């Protein structure tokens, strides 16, 4: 497939002068069935020590509406932890492909600032282009069709108007289909398109793209000489455990295992 090189307009965020350390995480896929990862996230928020935290999507395994964050739920607990963390350093959230329905109500509850995808962060004299990354994986044609459908305001309004239990049933079905696809022999997930990544960077006048989604942590040099840095997912039940944080400071970019994973 020859992808369209149309670039969504990028928002811009200028880091305050006092910021020295900025953390990026994504793809934690928080779920009550993965309590180790949930606990690690809680501990990370309490010990991060960064001047700002950027969550680049898929914090939750699934999001069916802000009304699911009722007392006693994982969503409600996470809102409390995030709000506490936001009292010490701002927390920014960009939607992923699993939690694109997370809304302003939960963001306020959690003390988070919502970011559009993509956003340019001006920090340390450089422009850093931030994205979840799923919109760059144009080779996954089935997903791109699905993405266009569920990101439509009409579809979202119709879905959120359904009773909570009906939405939960839809989420369970979608999750089961996703797991079944993973088990199919020969299944290969598309990576971020190289030409499209370069085009996004050129249009944003940035030299480094930071994104998640693919669960393929690495650093790539693009044909134009720019960088594409891919975040890791989190999975504390894996061997070895994954709970990687990408830290950006005045010296550059480093990957560090969250102390919460040790």
Q: What is the pLDDT of residue 259?
A: 61
As a whole number of Å, the end-to-end CA separation of the chain is: 43
Domains and CATH numbers, the chain: 14-261 (3.60.21.10)
pTM as predicted:
0.94
**pLDDT tens digits for range 44-92:** 999 999 999 999 999 999 999 999 999 999 999 999 999 999 999 999 9
**156-174 pLDDT, tens per residue?**
999 999 999 999 999 989 8
Instruction: Give the model's confidence band at 190: pLDDT under 50 very low, under 70 low, under 90 confident, else very high.
Output: confident
pLDDT at 5 over 70: no
Tens of pLDDT, residue by residue over 95-143, are: 999 999 999 999 999 999 999 999 999 999 999 999 999 999 999 999 9
Q: SS3 letters for 203-235?
A: HHCCCEEEECCCCCCEEEECCCCCEEEECCCEE
Q: Which of 168, 170, 146 is nearest to 75 (CA)?
A: 168
Both structure tokens of 41:
């996230």
State the DSSP code for 119.
E
Cβ density class 67-98: b for 16+ within 10 Å, e for less: ebbeeeebbebbbebbbebbeebbbbbbbbbb
- Tokens representing 95 are 């939607």
Above 80 in pLDDT, residue 36?
A: yes
């Amino acid at each position: 497939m020859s992808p369209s090189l149309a670039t969504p307009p990028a928002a811009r965020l200028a880091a305050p002068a006092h910021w020295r350390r900025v953390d990026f995480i994504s793809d934690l896929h928080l779920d009550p069935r993965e309590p180790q990862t949930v606990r690690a996230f809680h501990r990370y928020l309490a010990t991060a020590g960064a001047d700002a935290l950027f969550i680049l999507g898929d914090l939750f395994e699934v999001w069916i509406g802000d009304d699911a964050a009722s007392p006693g739920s994982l969503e409600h607990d996470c809102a409390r932890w995030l709000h506490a963390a936001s009292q010490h350093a701002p927390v920014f959230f960009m939607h992923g492909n699993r939690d694109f329905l997370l809304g302003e109500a939960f963001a306020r509850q959690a003390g988070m600032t919502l970011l559009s995808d993509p956003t340019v962060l001006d920090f340390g004299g450089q422009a850093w282009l931030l994205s979840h990354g799923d919109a760059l994986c144009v080779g996954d044609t089935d997903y791109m069709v699905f993405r266009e459908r569920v990101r439509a305001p009409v579809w979202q309004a119709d879905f959120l108007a359904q009773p909570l239990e009906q939405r939960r049933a839809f989420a369970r079905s979608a999750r089961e289909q996703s797991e079944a696809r993973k088990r199919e022999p020969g299944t290969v997930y598309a990576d971020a398109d190289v030409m499209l990544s370069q085009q996004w960077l050129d249009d944003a006048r940035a030299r480094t793209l930071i994104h998640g989604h693919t669960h393929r942590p690495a650093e790539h040099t693009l044909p134009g000489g720019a960088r594409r840095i891919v975040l890791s997912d989190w999975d504390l039940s894996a061997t070895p455990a994954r709970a990687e944080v990408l830290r950006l400071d005045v010296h550059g970019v480093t990957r560090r295992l969250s102390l919460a994973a040790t």
